[in-house]
Structure 1
Amino acid sequence: MHIYAFGSVCRGEIDRGSDVDLLACVDGPAPQIDPGKYSVYSYERLRALWSEGNPFAWHLHLESKLLFSSDGSDFLADLGRPEPYISVVSDCEKFKKLFDRSYQELENCSNSAVFNLSCMFLAVRNFATCHSLSIGQPIFSRNSPLMVNPSLPLGAEAFFVLTRARLLSTRGYGEGITPDEISATINAASAIPHWMAALRSQK
């Protein structure tokens, strides 16, 4: 078994809303590992992600830290560099569809506003991360949409609403989002499809 930390704690981006992302690499059933606290992957699956050039493989390759090794080895380090990332077109199309669907549902109904805002955050973050990886400048930060060029055309307040919605939806942490904040974010987010197109025009 190998245990790794990855994500914001390894980038030094922790804040009050951060958790600690943990990866458990196992070679069979591991009932002692809580899947609510760990991302549990078999060694075989991780090797496959490396061979696919999967973004998660690149994330682990660039931003993971070994915490425990049952045999003294560093399994991820021994895998070496993942294969090149080649699925950016299909991945970006997938996240564009997620954004479009969530944005449309948010415009039509406020009953699931936090969930749809959370999905919009996931879409723009992963879109930016996949794009950055495809051009050889990978950014895995939750702020990746603000760190690519061109950056996400949202004001700080609207992006903060998306970030808060993600934390509320996935961790139940943070301040509630008001109707006025929802309305302002809907208006600001209308520019996001143009931003996505501008990013991918760099391909």
Structure 2
Amino acid sequence: MHIYAFGSVCRGELDRGSDVDLLACVDSSSDALNPDKFSVYTKDRMREVWIRGNPFAWHLHLESKLIYSSDGVDFISALGKPARYSSFDVDSKRFKELFHVSMRSLSLAGNSQVFHLSCIFLALRNIATCYSVAVGSPVFSRYSPLRVTPSLEIDPDVFSVLMRSRLLSTRGYGEVVSEKEIGLCIESLADVDDWMERLTMGGLK
């Protein structure tokens, strides 16, 4: 078994809203590991991820830290460099669909608006991260939409609300999002949509 830390704790971006991401690479599935605390991958699955050049493979290759090895070997390091990521068109289409579904749902009255804002944040963060890997300048931070080129030009307060919504939905942590803040986000979504189109239609050319 090989256990790694990855994510914000390895990037030096740890704050009160962060968790500690842990990956366990195992020979076969194990009931001994709590899936709520570990991302559990068999070694065969990890090799497949490497062959596909998945952004997660690049994330682990560039930022993970070995914290336990049962045999003294660094399994991820031994995998070498992942293959080139070539699925941006397919992946970005999926994230744009999530964005558009969430945007439409957000405009409807209801008590799930924070969840839809969370999905919007997930879509724009993932599309930015995938884009960054595709162009050879990987950014795995939660701030990736602001750090790619072209960057997302958005009111910092709106970006903060989107990020807070993600933390509230996934971890139950953070300040409650107000109706006024939801309204500000809705007003900014057309600009977010335009940015996504620029990334996917012309960014890689």
- Verify same fold: TM over 0.5: yes
My pick for the range that moved more, 193-202 or 86-95, is 193-202
Tell me, yes or no, if the aligned pair for 1:8 and 1:20 is still in contact at 8 Å: yes
Tell me, yes or no, if the aligned pair for 2:2 and 2:70 is still in contact at 8 Å: yes
Alpha-carbon distance in structure 2 between the residues aligned to 1:85 and 1:103: 28
Is it true that 1:113 corresponds to 2:118 in the alignment?
no
Tell me, yes or no, if the aligned pair for 2:22 and 2:37 is still in contact at 8 Å: yes
Shift in Å, 1:28? 1.9
* 1:149 alignment partner, SS class: coil
Alpha-carbon distance in structure 2 between the residues aligned to 1:109 and 1:72: 55
Alpha-carbon distance in structure 2 between the residues aligned to 1:67 and 1:61: 15
- Equivalent in the alignment of 1:156: 156
Alpha-carbon distance in structure 1 between the residues aligned to 2:189 and 2:18: 25
Is it true that 1:181 corresponds to 2:154 in the alignment?
no
My pick for the range that moved more, 27-36 or 88-97, is 27-36
- Equivalent in the alignment of 1:102: 102
User: Which amino acid in structure 1 is aligned with residue 55 of structure 2?
Assistant: P
For these two proteins, the number of residue pairs brought into alignment is 203
My pick for the range that moved more, 171-180 or 108-117, is 108-117
Aligned CA-pair RMSD: 0.8
- Equivalent in the alignment of 2:133: 133
Tell me, yes or no, if the aligned pair for 1:50 and 1:82 is still in contact at 8 Å: yes
* 1:15 alignment partner, SS class: coil
- Equivalent in the alignment of 1:147: 147
User: Which amino acid in structure 2 is aligned with residue 202 of structure 1?
Assistant: G
Tell me, yes or no, if the aligned pair for 2:8 and 2:141 is still in contact at 8 Å: yes
Listed as ranges, the matches of 1:57-68 within 5 Å are 57-68=57-68
* 1:82 alignment partner, SS class: coil
Listed as ranges, the matches of 1:1-203 within 5 Å are 1-200=1-200, 201-203=202-204
My pick for the range that moved more, 176-185 or 145-154, is 145-154
Gaps of 5+ in 1: none
Shift in Å, 1:4? 0.1
Tell me, yes or no, if the aligned pair for 1:5 and 1:22 is still in contact at 8 Å: yes
Alpha-carbon distance in structure 2 between the residues aligned to 1:7 and 1:185: 26
TM-score by length of 2: 0.97
Alpha-carbon distance in structure 1 between the residues aligned to 2:90 and 2:30: 33
Report the identity percentage.
Answer: 56
Q: Deviations over 1:112-147 (max 9, x none)?
A: 111100000000000100111110001000000000
Shift in Å, 1:197? 1.5
User: Which amino acid in structure 2 is aligned with residue 103 of structure 1?
Assistant: M
Tell me, yes or no, if the aligned pair for 1:154 and 1:189 is still in contact at 8 Å: no
**4+ long deviations beyond 2 Å:** none
In structure 2, do the counterparts of structure 1 residues 110 and 191 end up closer, same or farther at CA, with 3 Å as the change threshold? farther
TM-score by length of 1: 0.98
